[in-house]
Structure 1
Amino acid sequence: MVTGTTKAVRYDEFGGIDVLRIEEVDRPVPGAGQVLVQVRAAGINPGEAALRIGAMTHIFPSTFPSGQGSDLAGVVAEIGAGAGRFAPGDEVIGFSEKRSAQAELVLVDVTNLTPKPKNVPWEVAGALYIAGVTAWGAVHSVQLEQGETVVVSGAAGGVGSIAVQLARRAGATVIGLASERNHEWLRSHGVIPVAHGDGVTDRIKAAAPGAIHAFIDTYGDGYVELALGLGVAIDRIDTLIDFPAAARYGVKTEPGPHGRQGVEALAELARLIADGHLEVPIANVYPLTQVRQAYAELERRHTHGKIVLRP
């Protein structure tokens, strides 16, 4: 057993990015069913920022000091008893359920890992779980059929950029709401781009070839009401962020599969990337020591794709 210390993101109280720090912690030791992963890349997500400011304590209580992060990709460093499906040196993708992925070394339950295909870049692998599985779940939740039309808000963001591609693979016509600087990327992936802002409803109607059958909202800010105004059925609207509107109107808030099904979806997404059928745009990569700068960029909500930390 190797001993010593390692670096990890920590915070001791709810607050803005200034509460984040890098701390020397004891090197984790894998227990039964656990794998110690040397992290090569860890994605960051809006939900982690919400946890850090205390906005989700009614769902996910916090204790301090707290770590941060779910998404990760790395190399197996050690294995515990019963984790023999992996061996030291294996490259893996997965997630931590302990808010601990933003670190040099992370303990992960063996059931939360899947092999990383060799030709999937580290940054992409490390950013994949939350955004990818959430997008996968959203596309499945609105029950797209060949030839239908779906609108995706935040279509160039971390979840939206994956969701539009999965919706196209399902055979749908996809209208993506995004800033004009991201329209060429959307077009290159077979998506009809529409600028957000004043007049967006009229622009969506003008872009749609006919009826609008489904709506995936990754951004909030009134898009549930917009979808209802477009005539989309309640059970074919999925918002990933506007929970008050979902409670008011009864639309879906399906975040994607969890547990074994989540890992299976993760593995499927990784295969699509490896085969060249899915792109995960990477907006920026920061060293772990610049975690504050990474979250400052994330919280401006204008990134194209994912932001990643590299220990």
Structure 2
Amino acid sequence: MLFYGPPGTGKTTAIRALCRKIYNTKSPNLSIPNVIELNASDERGIKTIRESVKQFASTTLDGKLKLVILDEADSMSRDAQNALRRVIEDFSTNCRFCLIANYANKIIPAIQSRCCKFRFGPITKSNDQIIKRVKEICEKENINFTEDGLKTLIKVSNGDARKLVNDIEGVYKAYGKITKENVLLLSNTVDLSVYELLFYDLLRNNLVKMVQLIHSAMKENSLECSVLVNNLGELVKESELENKLMILNEFSDLEKRVLNGGSQNVQSMAIAGILFKYRS
């Protein structure tokens, strides 16, 4: 199996839960003779595959299938992945393999073709189950919260459940209560209303004024260009602009230029240019 998707979406938790079910154990750290769990980012060389993994996979125990879990498998070298492919082929009768990765494209095609792939998507702010679970955590730990606080907490987690749980503890320890204001303070996140006001101001001003508004917002709120374009992109998605797909496509190219070291000043002006070009 290949479990892939963004960090904090439950990939490792899922395979551990599956192991406990299959092997009928409640062990929190999977100390089961039939299971070996390796972090491929630390043990990612050919030596580990040929020695640790091969030795484990080649033996049987009580006639039961064994399981090899390779976390962060996308950080393994190509040579190590080729060695792993051979091990998977040779010992498939008595051993199963679960590879966990953030990026499926970093796993060689020869391994991908031998795996059943499962994509784990990020959590969403509209997911009622997530809101319910966060409330359960807060109530169990006697943490005071507001509805707005929880919704903001889920939003700033960007789909990462691990970050979400850590932020619950962080906000509570810092401020004693989970409110929208406290979450924004701890995460150093700008309130969505700032982006909304800027967005609608940009849609009704001339190009020169648009550039001034963007530079002013970035300076006053200590915003990076990549953060600004991401949030404006979300507002474009929700808008009724006819050319939203073209705007989002150019925003994507713009973000790539920023991440590759492009000038924040130049790219922030490009935001204004893109919106001015397609807003009508």
Flag whether TM exceeds 0.5 (same fold).
Answer: no
TM-score (norm 2): 0.27
Going by fraction, where is helix more abundant, 1 or 2? 2
Bigger RCO of structures 1 and 2 (CA < 8 A, at least 6 apart): 1
Q: Determine which structure has the larger strand proportion and give its number.
A: 1
Q: Larger Rg: 1 or 2?
A: 2
TM-score (norm 1): 0.25
